[in-house]
Structure 1
Amino acid sequence: MSSIPEEPEKPLRDDCCGGGSCCPCIWDVYYEKLAKWKEAKQKQEDETASNSTGN
């Protein structure tokens, strides 16, 4: 069984400048990492369920 990385830490509200000119914004980076983490977590859960049913 492979392990997934830890869930990305949500930035604090004060971490964002709010100017809209940062490329990429810390929120863009966070949501991209979060999506990848959720995908990896789901894949691991699916593999675990598959292994427990004997498939």
Structure 2
Amino acid sequence: MHQPAPADDDPRPQPPEPPLPSDCCDGGCDPCVYDLHAEAMRDYRERLERWRRRHPGAD
């Protein structure tokens, strides 16, 4: 039977740092730092959901 990994071996994912207002140049970049952050947040939420399934009751 598969045992869940101890929390030390499977740390909870951490959210990405949001960009600072000064990180955006307001030049219409594609992708903008805010677009990149939104993508990183989607990835973080997916990783967090998988982690929560491996660690029920950890919250």
Q: What is the TM-score when the length of structure 2 is the normalising length?
A: 0.67
Q: TM-score scaled to structure 1, two decimals?
A: 0.71
Between the aligned residues of both structures, percent identity stands at 33
Alignment coverage as a number of residue pairs: 49
Q: Which has the higher helix share?
A: 1
Measured in 1, the distance between the counterparts of 2:14 and 2:55 equals 18
Q: Distance in 1 between matches of 2:23 and 2:14?
A: 20
Please say if residues 13 and 51 of structure 2, whose CA atoms lie closer than 8 Å, have aligned partners that are also in contact.
Answer: no
3-state SS in 2 of match to 1:19: coil
Distance 1:5 1:44, change over 3 A: closer
Q: What SS does structure 2 have at the residue aligned with 1:18?
A: coil
